[in-house]
Amino acid sequence: MSFKKSFIYLFSFFLIASCGTSVTIEDEIIDEVEVDEGDNGTGNTGSTGPNSDYPLSDQSNTGKWVLNKEVSDEFDTGTLDEDKWHIQGKNGVYQSNFIGRAPSQFSINNAIVEDEKLKIITKWEPDFDFHPTKTQTVNGKVYKYENITTAAVISKKQFRYGYMEIKCKSANAPITSSFWTTGKGTSELDMFEMFGGHKSNAAWKKRLKFNIISWDKDNPFYQPVYKGPVHTRNIQAKENTADDFHVYGFDWTPEYIKVYIDGVLHENGTILKSELTKNGTEPDRWVTDSDYWIWFDSETFPWLGLPTASDLVEPAEYQIEYIRVWQKS
């Protein structure tokens, strides 16, 4: 019993004894006791949780952040807000002509809002109407689209610079759970590609694969010519990304990108323009000064292992509780 409660009981006892009333002690102090609980089921008296108005890493709002509602969503209305988001393939529209990474193909039925979360679902679905002729070649092997369906959701509005925060749990299957951005013919920023259900690589289960990619044909680091990202690194989390929900934050500016996990700057999470460009001697390496659309999707990565029918007896779910994007006021 807390000191406060003990004092209330003692005070009420003397008060009742002096007044000769038959009202019980419990009747007298019930309101006080209810007010005193205050732990909201957490076991921590007075705990109120983080302030959702600001990034988890900046709860005092020293950055003077203002929420950009056009690219933010709590996914708590029961249906996807299609004024704000495009489901890849809806009405036959495939942004960037991207139908998925073979052998998986995007299905408009695999992106749903349920339980106040956006769910990107991966299914073993051999009877799906896969593209009959398209293929992709990976490491010399040709893959056609078959058996596996996934999904992608894309913002309809673009933005430039800000603090992106996503609370999510990756799919527990050999499939990606990704949060990334693209510009119009400019570049791509992969905040993370997760592979939380890797069958043999424990490191991948805890990994956020971070990439910066150029899609500008006039840039010497143009991906198809350069044969890879301008920059890539592994951000290793402490926990398996498919085990529970975590908050991932990305502070994107003209001079740096910083990666946070559960409100803490990751030790390997500072990407500096000065370092990437070798103090400005290779300026074409910094390609993220662009307006971006947000993407959430799941894809097959053949080089990391493909899911089988037994892996997807139950559909795998990449679950997103919210996406919040703040910009400077």
Q: Amino acid identity of 101?
A: R
Listed residue (250, 190, 195, 252) closest to 223, CA to CA: 190
Which of helix, strand or coil describes residue 71? helix
Residue 266 pLDDT > 50: yes
Query: Is residue 102 over pLDDT 90?
Result: yes
Cβ contact 105:127 at 8 Å:
no
Third-level CATH fold of 65-328:
Jelly Rolls (2.60.120)
- How many Å apart are CA 202 and CA 205, to the nearest integer? 5
Mean pLDDT of 216-243: 96
- Residue among 245, 235, 225 at smallest CA distance from 270: 235
- Looking at residue 47, its pLDDT comes to 58
For residue 4, pLDDT over 80 is answered with no
- The residue ranking higher by pLDDT, 63 or 43, is 63
The total number of residues shown for the chain amounts to: 329
CA distances from 117 to 74, 173, 180, 228 (A): 8, 19, 18, 33
User: Quick one: how far is CA 259 from the chain centroid?
Assistant: 12
The pLDDT value recorded for residue 59 is 98
Q: How far apart are CA 199 and CA 196, in angstroms?
A: 9
Residue 37 clears pLDDT 60, i.e. is over it: no
d(CA 171, CA 287) in angstroms, rounded, equals 30
Across the range 8-14, mean pLDDT stands at 41
pLDDT for position 8: 40
Q: How confident is the model at residue 329 (pLDDT cuts 50, 70, 90)?
A: confident
Please state the three-class secondary structure of 86-121 as a single string: EECCHHHCCHHHCCCCCCEEECHHHEEEECCEEEEE
Give the pLDDT confidence of 287-307 residue by residue, as tens digits.
999 999 999 999 999 999 999
154 in Cβ contact with 294 (< 8 Å):
yes
Q: Is 148 a residue whose pLDDT tops 80?
A: yes
Q: Pairing mode, if any, of strands 117-124 and 135-138?
A: unpaired
In 134-163, which positions are buried (b, 16+ CB within 10 angstroms) versus exposed (e)?
A: eebeeeeeebebebbbbbbbbbeebbebbb
Across all residues in the chain, what is the average pLDDT? 89
CB 107: neighbour CB atoms within 10 A? Answer: 24
Residues above pLDDT 90, as percent of the chain: 85
Q: Specify the pLDDT at position 3.
A: 42
Q: What is the mean pLDDT of residues 162-183?
A: 98
Task: Kindly state the average pLDDT of the residues 112-133.
Answer: 98
Report the distance separating Cα 329 and Cα 327, nearest Å.
6
Q: Where are the domains of the chain?
A: 3-37, 65-328
For tokens 């056009």, the residue is 70
The tens digit of pLDDT for each residue in 203-215 reads: 999 999 999 999 9
Least confident of 47-56, 242-251, 282-291: 47-56
CA distances from 154 to 95, 134, 139, 147, 297 (A): 9, 22, 28, 24, 9
Q: What is the rounded distance in angstroms from the CA atom of residue 260 to the CA atom of residue 248?
A: 6
Between the alpha carbon of residue 215 and those of residues 41, 117, 136, 225, the distances in Å are: 49, 32, 18, 10
Is the pLDDT assigned to residue 44 strictly greater than 90? Answer: no
Dist. CA 318–CA 239, nearest whole Å: 16
> Which pTM was predicted?
0.85
Question: Is residue 164 very low, low, confident or very high in pLDDT (cuts 50, 70, 90)?
Answer: very high
